[in-house]
Structure 1
Amino acid sequence: MAFRDRQWYINAIEREQKNVEQHRADLERHMGMADHSLAAMKCDDLKAALLKLNDLENHLADKGA
């Protein structure tokens, strides 16, 4: 794998990890306020971010980095 491709995946993974942490913090905040409708939406956002992160990590691993 070319360095540029590998670096792109690493940067994308780091961005998605930050996104996951933000969604997790939002979910915890809404659960703490007992705002279950917003918490449900944030749970869906967190799930999507985790799936994207997993996909990026799998692609990086498949490319032999």
Structure 2
Amino acid sequence: MIVRRNRRKQTVSFDERLQMAAKEARQAAQSLPQGAEREDLLKKARQAEAARRINGWLMSRGLRPPA
């Protein structure tokens, strides 16, 4: 049995998708009262922002491979 991967051509960069995910999570959290669901959305937004910073660091030209 051959398993085929679902391949898609991304039209929006990874960085932009992370930025949109963080923005959408923050907007959704604003409409909720204090509670676990709101905290989960804010956590998701922080994680997307952290992933964006890490991705930017990994893609920087100053990064050198180990010798």
TM range (shorter): 0.5 to 0.7
Larger helix percent: 1
Equivalences for residues 14-29 of structure 1 within 5 A: 14-29=16-31
Q: TM-score, normalised by structure 1?
A: 0.64
Q: Please say which structure displays the higher CA radius of gyration.
A: 2
Q: How many residues align?
A: 53
* Structure 2: unaligned runs, 5 residues or longer: 1-9
Letter in 2 for 1:61: S
Q: 1:40 to 1:19 in 2, by over 3 A?
A: same
Q: TM-score, normalised by structure 2?
A: 0.63
CA RMSD of aligned residues (A): 2.4
* Structure 1: unaligned runs, 5 residues or longer: 1-7
| 1:55 corresponds to 2:57 | no
Q: CA deviation at 1:37?
A: 1.7
